[in-house]
Amino acid sequence: MKKSIHLEYEVIQKENFSAEEQKLYLAASEIRKKAYAKYSHFAVGCALLMEDGNIVVGNNQENAAFPSGTCAERSAIFWAKSNFPNLKVLSIFIIGGPEDDSKSVITSPCGACRQSLLQYEIEQNQNISLYFSSYDGNAIKVNSIQHLLPFSFDGSEL
């Protein structure tokens, strides 16, 4: 029996961002400038909108022992959930690309980040909107982390 999974996503340009999207885009852009991407020179910034209206940000932090570094998404979500464990995350905005902005690339979250983000979406029992974007604001939006991780390992197997 063949089955298929349908994925819906939206393509949005900076000019069409809502006020809230614009705010998240700017927060992710600002924190991206502080990324520690000494080895890849690929800078990523991430901004989370919390349910109380606060924005939590993070960026990638690399390490000479490469696997010891951390992506922007995990820097941001782990900080948010360490400090505000009971606050839901409403949306997440990610911006990535070469740190000198020499190329405009839409940067989608890596597999490990998808898994980490999904954990909190399941835990809070409410979808998180996820935007991923180039530095100059070409963005893709999905309405749930689930959409980026079909057949996920969600803990129900344990």
Q: Where in the sequence numbering do the catalytic residues fall?
A: 73
Q: Which of 37, 48, 77, 139 binds ligand THU (CB under 6 A)?
A: 37
- What is the per-residue binding string for ligand THU in 48-87, x denoting contact by CB under 6 A? ------------x-x------x-xxx--------------
| SS3 category, 149 | coil
User: Residue 55: which of 63, 46, 68 has the closest Cα?
Assistant: 46
109 near ligand THU, judged by CB under 6 A? yes
Q: How many CA atoms lie within 13 A of 5 on its CB side?
A: 7
CA angle 130, 45, 83 (to 5 degrees): 80
Is the Cβ of residue 3 or residue 121 nearer to ligand THU in the bound state?
121
Strand 129-133 relative to strand 89-98, pairing: parallel
Is the Cβ of residue 34 or residue 51 nearer to ligand THU in the bound state?
34
Residues near ligand THU, by CB under 6 A: 37, 40, 42, 44, 60, 62, 69, 71-73, 107, 109-110, 113
